[in-house]
Structure 1
Amino acid sequence: MKTKSHKLFFRIMFFVIGLMLFAFGIAVAIVADFGVSAWDAVSVGLYEHFHLSIGTWMNVTSLLLILLGGWLRHERPKLSCMITSFVMSGFVDFFVWLMNGVSISPWIGKLTLFLVGVIIISIGCGTYLVGNFAPCPIDYFMVALRDKFQTNIRTAMTLCEGSGFILAFLVSGPIGLGTLLSVFIYGPLIQYFHQHAKELHQSLLYRFP
């Protein structure tokens, strides 16, 4: 029983800390104004048009991704994915509020802050996935694309980000060079940090059986 409780504790710890880092990284990327990831750009664009919070629009786009994923896989949409969306969107709103008024003007400063945001996002994503709870809606959608078109993760991610890029353009989201860069750099970084997070998780389980 003690072993099971320890395993659950560490899973929850990695899940929550990972989501907090993930959300903080998103907020940093937004402040950098160098171009956030495609689907985050959609949320920001909708926020600027309709003035609900960014976190609220993250939930709306997350629900859309879940519904599309369920349709592509011919299954009942996994609404449990919204748990992840609700938790992370709350953190995003908090961190955006915390950094309200922060402005970076030189482009080199924007690039630097953007890269910091990307690294934090990758660490957070790689960490929260270790918890193995409800998947992120965009991950659910990506897997649905992979299964539908019988392709690999890399191509599915490109399709996923590409569709987000088009939608972000339509809603006048903050598309920039960073939006294009994110398509190619998130995958390798997330994989790298996820591997290290798994090793840390296993180490903690070994030290505290």
Structure 2
Amino acid sequence: MLFSRILVYSLGMMINFFGVALVIYSTLGTGFWSALFVGLSENVALTAGFWYGLFQFIFIFVNARLMGARPEVAALIPLVLESFVYDFWLEVVFGGLNMAAAPFYMQLGMFSGGLLAIGLGVALYILPMFPRAPVDQLFLAVSERFNIGLGISQTIVAAGAATAGLLVGGPVGWGTLVITVLLGPVIQFWHEKLVFIFPEFHEQAIANAETVEAGSEYTPETVN
């Protein structure tokens, strides 16, 4: 079971960042976090994967502070792996690709394929229930700390990241808004398909939820 969880998580990670790279190189605007990381990479120094890892590391402690919990140190291992995968697609596989002068239909096709791939990748790597990425956990932490809805929390964080990305010269465009609006439904679409392919993960998630509701030894600190 552990091997299959690692395999599905790794596959999801690879597909997710493959999609991220497609969206970035489509030149139509990328996700709000990628806009910040790519902007820092292009206009400050170092790689987008480095900035991704650094912000993830910082958010481990920010989230813990907001939620009054211990830092989720288990997230450090996937954090490092994801940083390398991020740079693998951006710097190695797609390094040097320039779609700025490509026909719009090619850019749109690349963007659309990337959006679908991101949704599939995220839907895959959340199935094994490994620790959430700190940037994803930030939505929950802000919601809990300030007692606001998840939708409002996500909007606040997304707007802040997109604004920061714009200020550092990141690839913010109309595609950024499209991803913000459509990524959730795309992830939900893939998730509904995948629970039939990997029913054991879905059953385990239900069992864990029932355990938490029953008030077992799991505490908010251990399940975040």
- 1:183 counterpart = 2:177: no
CA distance in structure 1 between the partners assigned to 2:115 and 2:51 by the alignment? 21
| Paired amino acid for 1:99 | F
Conserved? CA contact 2:128–2:201, under 8 Å: no
1:102 maps to which residue? 97
Please report how far the alpha carbon of residue 144 of structure 1 lies from its aligned counterpart in structure 2 after TM superposition.
0.5
CA distance in structure 2 between the partners assigned to 1:145 and 1:94 by the alignment? 31
Instruction: Note the residue ranges of structure 2 that are not aligned, 5 or more in a row.
Output: 204-224
Conserved? CA contact 2:39–2:170, under 8 Å: yes
- 1:164 counterpart = 2:158: no
Map 1:127-142 onto structure 2 (within 5 A).
127-142=124-139
- The alignment of Structure 1 onto Structure 2 pairs a total of residues equal to 200
Q: Kindly report structure 1 stretches of 4+ aligned residues shifted beyond 4 Å.
A: 203-206
Conserved? CA contact 1:22–1:88, under 8 Å: no
Query: Which of 112, 115, 119 is the matching residue for 1:115?
Result: 112
CA distance in structure 1 between the partners assigned to 2:62 and 2:164 by the alignment? 14
Conserved? CA contact 1:27–1:95, under 8 Å: yes
Q: Percent of pairs identical after alignment?
A: 28
Instruction: Note the residue ranges of structure 1 that are not aligned, 5 or more in a row.
Output: 1-6
Query: Which of 32, 37, 40 is the matching residue for 2:31?
Result: 37
CA distance in structure 2 between the partners assigned to 1:205 and 1:66 by the alignment? 26
| Paired amino acid for 1:103 | N
Cα RMSD over matched residues? 2.0
CA distance in structure 1 between the partners assigned to 2:142 and 2:19 by the alignment? 26
Q: Provide, for residues 81-123 of structure 1, a one-character-per-residue CA deviation record: whole Å limited to 9, x for no partner.
A: 2322221221121112211232222233222211111110110
Q: 1:176 and 1:120, CA in 2 relative to 1: closer, same or farther beyond 3 A?
A: same
CA distance in structure 1 between the partners assigned to 2:32 and 2:41 by the alignment? 14
Q: 1:201 and 1:33, CA in 2 relative to 1: closer, same or farther beyond 3 A?
A: same
1:148 maps to which residue? 145
Deviation larger for 123-132 or 64-73: 64-73
| Paired amino acid for 1:102 | L
TM-score of the superposed pair, with normalisation by structure 2: 0.82
Q: Provide, for residues 99-154 of structure 1, a one-character-per-residue CA deviation record: whole Å limited to 9, x for no partner.
A: 12322222332222111111101100000000111211122111102212323332
Q: 1:205 and 1:76, CA in 2 relative to 1: closer, same or farther beyond 3 A?
A: closer
Map 1:66-81 onto structure 2 (within 5 A).
66-81=60-75
TM-score of the superposed pair, with normalisation by structure 1: 0.88
